[in-house]
């Protein structure tokens, strides 16, 4: 994806790319990637809040290459969160238009339609007289999943408590990191900033890395249970709340 967006930046290519980074609550999108977040605004074509921002992505073919792009975070009223990454500048399309342009493509792409179902919880059938009925099979799956999650939380009660204590300072560290990133600029895949800010950013990143390693150490003896927990939490995020 990053390679395609980098290609579109060349003057001889007039392509404007819109793509997606899945649902934010699947943990596939790290909040640390976002900066220059705008105020929340309502989506003009649906039930959601939007925030325009900038996202930093790493090129998988060049791990040290940082790519900056526009992103639109979508906060659906049903509790889901999604993110669109776009090469379309704000001067051409506002946030609502970017989101609408992406979702207008659903009828032509089965994969995107499937993702739409997950994002908007399209798990109801319409009967005679426009009566909405719950999908009983879906409700049964959700109930079983919630039961399994409750059991896992009980089994992992102690390590989860320890992890919560370790995670407490992370929000402050993430905010300090974000502010320092906003003071930098990206040129040719590299971060440009003052020596002082670079040293401060490295310090914050080291502190974050230390806490994350300590959390991994706590999880290690319960590796399989945590794997199941994360998998089931991701699955339940695709179901209606």
pLDDT, one tens digit per residue, over 152-205 is 999 999 999 999 999 999 999 999 999 999 999 999 999 999 999 999 999 999
In this structure, are strands 48-59 and 34-35 parallel, antiparallel, or unpaired?
A: antiparallel
Q: Find tokens 């990206």 and name the residue.
A: 186
Residues 155 and 229 in one domain: yes
Predicted confidence band at 3 (pLDDT cuts at 50, 70, 90)? Answer: low
Domain ends where: 101, 121, 141?
121
Q: What is the mean pLDDT of residues 53-75?
A: 89
Cα-Cα end-to-end distance for the chain: 31
What six digits make up the tokens of 203?
A: 């310090």
The domain tally of the chain equals 2
Same-domain check for residues 13 and 110: yes
pLDDT beyond 50 at 128: no
> 93 and 159: one domain?
no
Asked if the structure places residue 126 within a domain, the reply is no
C-alpha torsion angle, residues 161, 166, 169, 174 (rounded to 10): -110
The residue among 6 and 94 whose pLDDT is bigger is: 94
In Å, the largest CA–CA distance within the chain is 68
Same domain flag for 159 and 219 = yes
Of residues 167, 155, 165, 169, the one with CA closest to residue 225:
155
Give the span between the Cα atoms of 157 and 41, in whole angstroms: 38
Among the three residues 88, 121, 154, which one is the final residue of a domain in this structure? 121
Domain hosting residue 209, numbered range: 133-237
Q: How far apart are CA 4 and CA 22, in angstroms?
A: 17
Same domain assignment for residues 148 and 227: yes
Residue 215 lies in a domain: yes
């Amino acid at each position: 994806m990053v390679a395609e967006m980098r290609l579109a930046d060349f003057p001889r290519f007039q392509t404007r790319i819109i793509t997606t980074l899945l649902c934010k609550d699947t943990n596939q999108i790290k909040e640390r990637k976002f900066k220059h977040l705008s105020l929340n605004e309502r989506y003009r074509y649906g039930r959601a809040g939007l925030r325009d921002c900038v996202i930093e992505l790493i090129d998988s073919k060049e791990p040290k290459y940082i790519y900056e792009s526009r992103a639109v975070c979508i906060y659906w009223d049903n509790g889901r969160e999604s993110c669109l990454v776009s090469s379309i500048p704000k001067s051409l399309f506002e946030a609502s238009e970017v989101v609408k342009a992406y979702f207008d493509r659903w009828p032509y792409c089965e994969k995107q339609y499937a993702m739409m179902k997950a994002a908007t919880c399209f798990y109801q059938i319409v009967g005679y007289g426009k009566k909405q009925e719950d999908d009983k099979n879906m409700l049964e799956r959700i109930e079983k999943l919630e039961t399994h999650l409750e059991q896992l939380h009980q089994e992992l009660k102690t390590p989860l408590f320890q992890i919560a204590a370790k995670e407490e300072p992370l929000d402050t560290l993430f905010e300090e990191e974000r502010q320092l990133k906003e003071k930098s600029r990206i040129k040719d895949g590299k971060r440009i900033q003052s020596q002082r800010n670079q040293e401060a950013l490295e310090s914050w990143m080291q502190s974050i890395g230390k806490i994350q390693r300590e959390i991994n150490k706590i999880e290690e003896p319960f590796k399989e249970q945590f794997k199941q927990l994360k998998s089931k939490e991701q699955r339940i995020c695709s179901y209606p709340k």
